[in-house]
C-alpha cells in the first residue's frame, strides 16, 4: 500500500514537472504586452515574419531548419549545387565545411558566429526574444548583436511568429501527437490491467490466492 502510494506520487510529480511546470528551468521573467503575444502565437503572421527576417536579420543569422542561410552564404553559387545533392536543408557538417570562409568572416566581424535561430524559440521563449530583439543591449549588455529593429514591437512579434513556426510543430501536428500520446498511455493502462487480472488468475489456480 505504502509502496503503491509512493510510486503513484512519484509518477504524478514526474509528469507535473515535464508537462505542466518545470520547476528546475530558469524562470527569469520578461514582459511582453498581450497584443504582441497574440501576434507571436498566431501562425498567420509567420509568412510576413519571414520576410521581415530576410530584410532585418538574414545578413547575419541562419534559420537552417527552414533552409534560410546568411546572405553571404545565400549568395555563394555553391549553395544551389549542394542543395541539389543533399536536399534544401543541408546537414550541419556539410554546411559548416562548405561555408567555412563565410562563417569565419561573420565570426571575425562579431566575435562569434551569430547563432542559428532554428530552435531559439523553444530554447528562450517569446518573452525573452521580444525583449532581446527590441533592445539587445538591455538584455545582454555588451552583446555584439546590433539593435536593428528597435521601436518596432509589431514587426518583432511577427518575426517571433516566424521563428515559432520553424521550431514548433504546426497545430495540426501537435494535435496528432497529443492523440498519439493519449493512445499510448491508454494502451499501457489497458495492458497493465489485463496482465494484473491474468496474474491473479494464475495465482488462484496455483492455490496461492
60 is an interface residue for ligand HEC by CB under 6 A: yes
Radius of gyration of the chain (CA): 24
- Out of 76, 119, 143, 150, the residue judged to bind ligand HEC by CB under 6 A: 143
Which of the ranges 3-11, 26-34, 141-149, 183-191 carries the binding residues for ligand HEC, by CB under 6 A?
A: 141-149
- Which is closer to ligand HEC, CB of 59 or CB of 82? 59
- Give the helix/strand (H/E) hosting 50: helix 46-56
| Smallest gap from residue 173 Cβ to ligand HEC (A) | 24
- Measure the CA–CA gap between 188 and 12, rounded to whole angstroms: 16
Cβ–Cβ < 8 Å for 65, 166: yes
Q: If we measure between CA atoms, which residue out of 174, 139, 173 comes closest to residue 156?
A: 139
Interface segment toward ligand HEC; rule CB under 6 A; list 9-17, 78-86, 145-153, 199-207: 145-153
| One of 149, 157, 158, 164 touching ligand HEC (CB under 6 A) | 149
Q: Is 63 in the site for ligand HEC (CB under 6 A)?
A: no
Site for ligand HEC (CB under 6 A): which residue of 37, 41, 48, 56?
A: 56
From the number of C-beta atoms within 10 Å of its C-beta (0-12, 13-18, 19+), residue 46 rates as buried
Which residue number places its CB atom closest to ligand HEC?
A: 57
Site stretch for ligand HEC (CB under 6 A), options 35-43, 52-60, 166-174, 201-209? 52-60
Q: How far apart are CA 90 and CA 174, in angstroms?
A: 25
Which segment (15-23, 58-66, 165-173, 198-206) binds ligand HEC by CB under 6 A? Answer: 58-66
Q: Is 72 or 89 the residue whose CB approaches ligand HEC more closely? A: 72
- Residue 104 binds to ligand HEC (criterion: CB under 6 A): no
Decide: 6 and 126 in contact? Cβ < 8 Å. Answer: no
Phi-psi category of residue 168: left, alpha or beta, with phi > 0 → left and psi -120 to 50 → alpha: beta
Task: Please name the residue that has the C-alpha cell 495492458.
Answer: 191
Neighbours of 122 (CB within 10 A): 12
Give contact residues for ligand HEC (rule: CB under 6 A). Answer: 56-57, 59-61, 110, 112, 114-115, 117, 120, 129, 132-133, 140, 143-146, 148-149, 159
Amino acid at each position: 500500500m505504502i509502496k503503491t502510494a509512493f510510486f503513484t506520487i512519484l509518477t504524478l510529480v514526474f509528469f507535473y514537472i515535464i508537462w505542466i511546470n518545470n520547476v528546475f528551468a530558469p524562470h527569469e521573467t520578461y514582459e511582453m504586452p498581450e497584443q504582441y503575444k497574440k501576434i507571436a502565437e498566431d501562425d498567420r503572421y509567420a509568412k510576413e515574419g519571414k520576410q521581415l527576417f530576410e530584410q532585418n536579420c538574414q545578413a547575419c543569422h541562419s534559420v537552417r531548419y527552414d533552409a534560410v542561410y546568411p546572405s553571404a552564404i545565400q549568395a555563394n553559387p555553391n549553395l544551389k549545387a549542394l542543395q541539389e545533392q543533399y536536399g534544401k536543408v543541408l546537414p550541419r557538417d556539410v554546411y559548416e565545411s562548405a561555408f567555412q570562409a563565410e562563417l569565419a568572416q561573420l565570426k571575425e566581424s562579431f566575435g562569434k558566429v551569430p547563432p542559428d535561430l532554428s530552435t531559439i524559440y523553444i530554447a528562450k521563449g517569446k518573452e525573452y526574444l521580444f525583449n532581446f530583439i527590441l533592445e539587445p543591449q538591455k538584455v545582454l549588455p555588451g552583446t555584439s548583436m546590433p539593435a536593428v529593429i528597435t521601436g518596432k514591437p509589431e514587426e518583432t512579434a511577427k518575426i517571433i511568429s516566424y521563428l515559432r513556426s520553424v521550431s514548433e510543430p504546426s497545430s495540426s501536428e501537435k494535435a496528432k501527437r497529443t492523440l498519439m500520446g493519449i493512445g499510448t498511455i491508454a494502451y499501457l493502462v489497458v495492458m497493465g490491467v489485463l496482465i494484473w487480472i491474468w496474474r491473479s488468475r494464475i495465482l488462484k489456480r496455483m492455490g496461492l490466492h
